[in-house]
Amino acid sequence: MSTYTAPARDLYFACTELADLAGVHTLPGYEEATPELLTSILEEAGRFASEVLAPLNVVGDRQGARLVDGKTKTAEGWQGAYRQFIDSGWNGLPFAGEYGGQELPWLVATATNEIWESANMAFALCPLLTQGAIEAILAHGSEDQRDTYLGKLVSGEWTGTMNLTEPQAGSDLAAVRTRAVPEGDHYRISGQKIFITYGDHDLTDNIVHLVLARLPDAPEGVKGISLFIVPKFLRDDDGNWSVPNDIETLSLEEKLGIHASPTAVLGYGNNEGAIGYLVGEENQGLVYMFTMMNVARHSVGVQGYAVAERAYQQAVQYASERMQGKAIDDPAGERVAIIRHPDIQRLLWTQKCRNEALRALALVTASCMDKASRHPDKETRAAAADMVEVLTPIVKGYATEVGLENVSLALQVHGGMGFIEETGAAQFYRDQRITPIYEGTTGIQALDLAGRKLLRDGGQMTLRVIDYIRQDAARYSTISEDMAKSLGDALDAVAHAANFLISRSAESLREVGAVAEPYLRLWGVVACGWLMAKSAHRANVLLDEGKCDDHLNAEFLRIKLRCAEFYFASEMPLVSALAERVEESGDLVAGGHVEDFLTR
């Protein structure tokens, strides 16, 4: 079983050289986000993750969360680790000081989130959901609701959840049946919610549930959904949060992975009705919930490559220690560690370059989130918002799919031992497998990218983003002509694919839906290629200017160059195949019949 070491130098390089920490540092309120502070945060987060969270990962997997007499018990060590986590202020990193947060950029928070997810994904899911609840209440709650809940949520004294779907609904939230009946200054909530991450636990004294429900006279479909705050405990007459709300934990799901993360089935209002409080206006719940969902989708994308980073580290350690066979170019020599074998090196290089590319993609998106909310220039805010709109479904969909492929490659490095639970490689695969599914499957992200983000405005926003990337890439004066041409051709391919889908949408939306996933993958390969080219350029600049130091030394930067070169040699050739799939396979799928699958 390997240890975990936070990739602090890689995170620092990605934040400072690729994601424009210098620009984020100048935004109002983010003046303290200096490279020096980033270094300190990454070092301390890495220490906490390796010493406290990572050792609990296998403990949580083996013990899991348990429902005992209707109450959820977390795994051994969870309560102590959570207390240390919130006492250290990690929960409130990106939130406003007026609510007890540290008001640091999402760029910095995303870098630390990777560390938590790598060390212990099942643990990190709890603050992930709380962050989303904070954003939703901050954006759409009343002043009284913000004053009531945000301080305790930001500190981590309480946690938050997202209650969307139900047994009959799945991803079709138009089918939600949970009811909310008005009663004075509150509502009575009744219904059942499933797949509620940390829907019940013993880490805090209260849990703030954000619940989608329908009013009695609400219109059908998603236009009739409202959002409610439904605390696990309500205030008593003395103002103490001690009165149990009418919420019951009916069961905890038995899952493939993330066993220590309690995924609850919650029953609301099995007696008199759970008391809830309307957020914002009636029938606007899904709009409000998207604030929480978009934060969560970006965070899940981080999970995708964060677990892959942990699996990669273990694969490198195993390959360095496992003696098997002789070097292919020295058959008469001694047995060697398998890391000497070219195929193992191919597996490791593939994981390394993909993980670095995905990290850059998520951090650049986080940087754009910061600029979209705080940049003083209106046009810059709008451009950053465009980037966030287009890149978020790519981060969620592509990073989780490729992250899963990487975890599988890490397991493959172990050979047969990877299939044995004892090594721990299998846990990473089991845990990570959920990431392309929850918070919207890859197919849903693809439809978002090809539908809402492309077709709704005739491709104007998408083409603006492509132009922004072109302008940025035009400044990479130190990369090779071959790399520059490959990137330019890839951007042409994305633009052509976007225009092709726009042209086909008028005739066949089914055809667009049929190729939305390869369109998302095409975007993912190209967006990652853009940032790997930028990585090569920045490494060259630092080397040429002699700006190497003990932190970003010359060998580290040369590895960055080799990593970028490997990405362009190994991943960028996929562009032509994916572009062809977008243009050639849609009509074959859309023109098929259900009977094609049912006929025997």
Using CA atoms, how far apart are residues 180 and 341, in angstroms rounded to an integer? 62
| Positions marked catalytic | 439
Mean of the per-residue pLDDT values of the chain: 96
pLDDT given at position 3: 87
Asked if 276 and 211 count as a contact pair (C-beta separation under 8 A), the reply is yes
Q: Are residues 46 and 135 in the same domain?
A: yes
Tell which residue, 149, 167, 258, has the closest CA to residue 210: 149
d(Cα 586, Cα 600) in Å, to the nearest integer? 24
Q: 77 and 208: one domain?
A: no
Q: What is the reported pLDDT for 549?
A: 77
- Specify the pairing of strand 159-163 against strand 207-213: parallel
Note whether 137 and 205 are same-domain residues: no
390 within a domain of the structure (yes/no): no
pLDDT at 374: 97
Neighbour-count burial of 6, counting CB atoms closer than 10 A to its CB (0-12 exposed, 13-18 middle, 19+ buried): buried
Same-domain pairing of 151 and 64: yes
Residue 174: predicted pLDDT: 83
Q: Cα–Cα distance between 492 and 271 in angstroms, integer?
A: 60
Residues 187 and 111 in one domain: no
Domain total in the chain: 3
User: pLDDT (tens digit, 9 = 90+) per residue, 496-550?
Assistant: 999 999 999 988 889 999 999 999 999 999 999 999 999 999 999 999 998 877 7
478 three-class SS: coil
Q: Which of 253, 359, 294 is nearest to 135 (CA)?
A: 294
The kind and range of the H/E element at 241 are strand 241-244
Q: What is the DSSP string of 544-594?
A: HTT---SSS-HHHHHHHHHHHHHHHHHTTTHHHHHHHHHHHSHHHHHT--T
Residues 450 and 481 in one domain: yes
Say how many Å lie between the first and final Cα of the chain, rounded. 46
By three-state DSSP, how is residue 573 classified?
coil
What are the pLDDT digits (tens) for 355-378?
Answer: 999 999 999 999 999 999 999 999
Give the tens place of pLDDT for each residue, 258-305.
Answer: 999 999 999 999 999 999 999 999 999 989 988 888 889 999 999 999
Domain range enclosing 460: 441-592
3-state secondary structure of 402: helix
* DSSP 8-class letter at 479: S
Q: Which amino acid is at 261?
A: S
| CA trace torsion 274, 155, 82, 75 (10° rounding) | 10
600 confidence band (pLDDT: 50, 70, 90): confident
Residue 457 DSSP one-character state = G
Q: From 549, 58, 7, select the one nearest 312 (Cα to Cα).
A: 7
Can you read off the two tokens belonging to residue 554? 């010359």
CA 220 to chain CA centroid, Å, is 31
- Judge whether residue 401 has pLDDT over 70: yes
In a domain, 201, yes or no: yes
- Nearest-5° Cα angle at 327, 325 to 330: 120
Query: Rounded distance, CA 551 to CA 111, Å?
Result: 17
Q: Are residues 138 and 227 in the same domain?
A: no
Residue with tokens 């609510």: 99
Examine residue 109 and state whether it is found in any structural domain, yes or no.
yes
User: What is the CATH classification number for the domain harbouring 118?
Assistant: 1.10.540.10
Residue partners of 124: CB distance under 8 A and separation at least 6: 53, 113, 116, 117, 303
In this structure, the answer to whether residues 15 and 66 fall within a common structural domain is yes
SS3 473: helix
- What is the CB-side half-sphere exposure of residue 316 using CA atoms within 13 A? 14
Q: What is the CATH number of the domain that holds 186?
A: 2.40.110.20
Is 488 contained in some domain? yes
pLDDT attached to residue 292: 82
With cut-offs at 50, 70 and 90, classify the pLDDT of residue 83: very high
Task: Kindly state whether residue 314 falls inside one of the protein's structural domains.
Answer: no
- Domain's final residue, options 283, 299, 319: 283
Q: pLDDT of 181-233, one tens digit each?
A: 999 999 999 999 999 999 999 999 999 999 999 999 999 998 999 999 999 99
Question: In terms of residues, how long is the chain?
Answer: 600
pLDDT, average across residues 329-358:
96
If one counts every other C-beta atom within 10 angstroms of the C-beta of residue 73, the result is 19
pLDDT at 520: 98
Last residue of a domain, one of 155, 179, 194: 155
Looking at the structure, tell me whether residues 513 and 445 fall in a common domain: yes
Bridge partner list, 298: none
Q: How far is CA 148 from the centre of its chain?
A: 28
User: 267: part of which helix (H) or strand (E)?
Assistant: strand 263-268
Helix orientation angle between 285-321 and 378-413, rounded to the nearest 10 degrees? 40
Are 587 and 450 within one domain?
yes
Element (H, E) at 231: strand 226-231
Q: Are residues 88 and 141 in the same domain?
A: yes
Place of tokens 């709009």: 287
Last residue of a domain, one of 106, 131, 155: 155
| Least confident window among 12-21, 63-72, 527-536, 544-553 | 544-553
Instruction: Judge if 454 and 509 occupy the same domain.
Output: yes
User: Is there a domain that residue 65 lies in?
Assistant: yes
Q: What is the pLDDT of residue 508?
A: 83
The pLDDT, as a whole number, for residue 1 is: 57
- Taking CA atoms, 392 is separated from 16, 364, 446, 485, 504, in Å, by 21, 11, 11, 26, 24
Assess if residue 84 is contained within a domain: yes
C-alpha 68/C-alpha 299 separation (Å) is 31
Under 8 Å between Cβ of 78 and 87: no
Tell me, yes or no, whether 349 lies in a domain: no
Pair 390, 291: CB distance under 8 Å: no
Convert the pLDDT of each residue in 410-461 to its tens digit. 999 999 999 999 999 999 999 999 999 999 999 999 999 999 999 999 999 9
Question: What's the rounded mean pLDDT across residues 302-319?
Answer: 98
Three-state SS at 496? helix
- Partnered with residue 427 across adjacent β-strands are none
Burial classification of residue 202, based on how many CB atoms lie within 10 Å of its CB (0-12 exposed, 13-18 middle, 19 or more buried):
middle
Query: Is the distance from CB of 297 to CB of 311 less than 8 angstroms?
Result: no
SS (H, E, C) 168-218: CCCCCHHHCCCEEEEECCEEEEEEEEEEEECCCCCCCCCEEEEEEEECCCC
